[in-house]
């Protein structure tokens, strides 16, 4: 008989169970779930126009290693080490940290079962969501094997939610997301949705090389992406000048005879932008710094007020939100028009000139498809009336004239219920609820004192469609 201490028997038994689990049960469970996920992805790809690429399904650590050890990144790390006078190992380690920071962890289940459902619920809970203009024939004609890049004007952080919801039937989108989303719990979900984090206005050449290489890898692998070429939210309601960083990385990934890159211009507009007052505060004067606790308190107060209105039966959704999809632009065709069939072989000045022309072309296409909604139309009419204001009948006539001009200029107008009078009523109601428009005792409507900048913010969203 061999006697053993009880604690040793327990320890040996525990180790045996752990070993059995690690060698037999865990691989079996992992295989079972991976098989189910693969079946789900195969099923999704049968109905998605733009398929989920193998690149997006590759394990994150594999992508991180590929990016960190890419030859161009390695050369950039060596150059950075020489420039900064640091050991090459330190620069290489920095490149690895940047790669881990940028690379997403796409999960098809999280995207289609969680993310898109949340996007749909949130978008439809806050807005009456409408699909505006869409060049359906051209969009259907896009080669499914091409890399599709949605280029979108940036009015609100709700843009991510709205486009994800409306595009979920056709594609899984990979967004470039700024620092605002680097919140411990939120960033995990955002990475699982296929988004990659970027540092806005980063000047570090090594970081920019790592980011450029990741965008090139994803583009060459056919990953469908969504880009905001303005680089940030509009502050005054107008379209901002294009920033060429991400566009240059995407265009630089194109190779003659390689996978086609197709840009799809997307125009978004809202009857109410959730961040509007915070955004215009930045153009009225630099706002004082606000602590995280104050921001949280304001957010909770906003939610509490709207919940109170909902319970009292006096809550309205924040008007209409509309998205329009323009005519796709293949990069090869654009380069042919510019006489730059091999962008990688061109010198830096020529490449920059071509990318600038591409950015201007895309922003022009985005501007053309931005939809006109009731609030921007009514705000534009009221601002145009000056101090005299307009009674409701005159306001409807003025908005009707604006709609006619927009249609004449090729603009796209969403008229609720196909009723122009109702469009004015809906826009005026939203402005009145927010005390942006007020009616005097004579029944004349004016922009409220102190609210002209906010009214102009909405009017500016369609001002470019009325120019000329």
Q: The CATH number of the domain where 167 resides is what? A: 3.40.1130.10
Q: The CATH number of the domain where 420 resides is what? A: 1.10.10
User: What pLDDT is attached to residue 223?
Assistant: 93
244 part of a folded domain: yes
Q: Are residues 239 and 186 in the same domain?
A: yes
Span 334-370, pLDDT tens digits: 999 988 877 777 788 888 899 999 999 999 999 999 9
Q: Are residues 284 and 268 in the same domain?
A: no
Kindly state the average pLDDT of the residues 392-417.
94
Concatenate the DSSP letters of all residues of 246-285 into one string: HHHHHHHT--TTS--EEEEEEEEEES--TTHHHHHHHHHS
Span 207-228, pLDDT tens digits: 999 999 999 999 999 999 999 9
User: What pLDDT is attached to residue 324?
Assistant: 95
Q: What is the β-pairing status of strands 329-330 and 261-270?
A: antiparallel
User: What pLDDT is attached to residue 313?
Assistant: 72
Q: How far is Cα 60 from Cα 107, in angstroms, rounded to an integer? A: 10
Q: How far is Cα 226 from Cα 222, in angstroms, rounded to an integer? A: 13
266 part of a folded domain: yes
pTM of the predicted structure, to 2 decimals: 0.87
Count of structural domains within the chain: 4
Q: Which of 24-28, 51-55, 112-116, 407-411 has the highest mean pLDDT?
A: 407-411
Q: Which of 2-16, 284-298, 301-315 has the highest mean pLDDT?
A: 2-16
213 part of a folded domain: yes
Q: Are residues 266 and 351 in the same domain?
A: yes
Q: Are residues 178 and 291 in the same domain?
A: no
CA contacts within 13 A on the Cβ side of 210:
33
385 part of a folded domain: yes
Q: Are residues 184 and 241 in the same domain?
A: yes
CA contacts within 13 A on the Cβ side of 409:
21
Identify the domain containing residue 37 by its residue range: 6-47
Q: Are residues 298 and 377 in the same domain?
A: no
User: What pLDDT is attached to residue 43?
Assistant: 62
Q: Are residues 120 and 253 in the same domain?
A: yes
Band (pLDDT 50/70/90 cuts) for residue 437 is: very high
Closest alpha carbon to 333 in 364, 375, 361, 310: 361
Question: Over 80: is that where the pLDDT of 95 sits?
Answer: yes
Kindly state the average pLDDT of the residues 58-71.
92
| Phi/psi at 196 (5° precision) | -120, 140
Question: Over 80: is that where the pLDDT of 47 sits?
Answer: no
Please name the residue that has the structure tokens 């705000």: 379
Q: Are residues 307 and 376 in the same domain?
A: no
| Phi/psi at 415 (5° precision) | -110, 105
91 part of a folded domain: no
Q: Are residues 332 and 429 in the same domain?
A: no
Question: Which domain-ending residue is among 316, 331, 346?
Answer: 316
User: What pLDDT is attached to residue 80?
Assistant: 94
Question: Which domain-ending residue is among 328, 353, 369?
Answer: 369
Give first-to-last CA distance, the chain, whole Å: 101
- Element at 139 (helix H, strand E): helix 136-140
Give SS3 for 439: strand
Q: Are residues 160 and 25 in the same domain?
A: no
Q: Are residues 248 and 232 in the same domain?
A: yes
- Asked if 210 contacts 96 with a C-beta cutoff of 8 angstroms, the reply is no
Q: What is the mean pLDDT of the chain?
A: 86
76 part of a folded domain: no
Span 128-170, pLDDT tens digits: 999 988 888 888 888 889 999 999 999 998 999 999 999 888 8
- Of 65-74, 132-141, 234-243, the one with minimum mean pLDDT is 132-141
Question: Over 60: is that where the pLDDT of 33 sits?
Answer: no
Q: Are residues 303 and 236 in the same domain?
A: no
User: What pLDDT is attached to residue 357?
Assistant: 94
């Amino acid at each position: 008989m061999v006697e053993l201490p009880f604690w040793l028997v327990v320890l040996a038994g525990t180790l045996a169970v752990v070993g059995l689990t690690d060698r037999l049960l865990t691989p079996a469970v992992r295989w079972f779930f991976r098989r189910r996920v693969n079946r789900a992805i195969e099923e999704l790809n049968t109905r998605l126009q733009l398929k989920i690429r193998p690149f997006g399904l590759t394990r994150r650590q594999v992508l991180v290693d590929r990016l960190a050890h890419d030859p161009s990144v390695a050369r950039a790390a060596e150059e950075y080490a020489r420039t900064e006078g640091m050991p090459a190992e330190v620069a290489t380690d920095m490149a690895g940290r940047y790669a881990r920071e940028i690379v997403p962890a796409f999960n098809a289940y999280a995207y289609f079962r969680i993310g898109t459902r949340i996007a749909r619920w949130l978008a439809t809970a806050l807005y009456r969501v409408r699909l505006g203009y869409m060049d359906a024939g051209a969009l259907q004609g896009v080669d499914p094997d091409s890399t599709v890049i949605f280029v979108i004007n940036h009015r609100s952080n709700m843009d991510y939610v709205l486009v994800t919801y409306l595009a979920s039937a056709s594609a899984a989108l990979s967004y470039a997301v700024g620092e605002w989303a680097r919140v411990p719990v939120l960033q995990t979900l955002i990475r699982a949705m296929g988004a990659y984090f970027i540092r806005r206005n980063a000047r570090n050449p090594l970081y920019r090389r790592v980011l450029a290489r990741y965008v090139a890898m994803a583009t060459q692998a056919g990953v469908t992406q969504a880009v905001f070429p303005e680089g940030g939210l509009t502050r005054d309601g107008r379209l901002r000048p294009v920033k060429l960083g991400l566009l240059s990385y995407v265009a630089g990934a194109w190779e003659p005879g390689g996978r086609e890159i197709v840009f799809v211009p997307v125009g978004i507009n809202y009857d109410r932008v959730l961040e509007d007052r915070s955004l215009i505060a930045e153009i009225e004067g630099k706002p004082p710094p606000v602590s995280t606790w104050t921001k949280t308190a304001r957010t909770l107060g906003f939610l509490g007020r709207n919940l109170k209105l909902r319970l009292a039966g006096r809550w309205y959704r924040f008007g209409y939100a509309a998205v329009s999809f323009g005519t796709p632009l293949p990069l090869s065709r654009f380069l042919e028009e510019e006489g730059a069939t091999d962008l990688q072989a061109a010198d830096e000045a020529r490449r920059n000139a071509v990318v600038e022309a591409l950015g201007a072309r895309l922003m022009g296409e985005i501007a053309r498809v931005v939809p006109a909604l009731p609030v921007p139309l009514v705000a534009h009419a009221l601002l145009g009336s000056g101090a005299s204001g307009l009674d409701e009948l005159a306001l409807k006539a003025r908005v009707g004239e604006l709609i006619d001009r927009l249609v004449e200029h090729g603009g796209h107008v969403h008229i609720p219920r196909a009723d122009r009078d109702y469009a004015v009523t809906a826009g005026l109601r939203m402005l009145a609820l927010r005390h942006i428009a007020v009616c005097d005792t004579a029944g004349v409507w004016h922009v409220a004192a102190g609210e002209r900048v906010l009214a102009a913010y909405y009017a500016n969203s369609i001002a470019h469609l009325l120019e000329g």
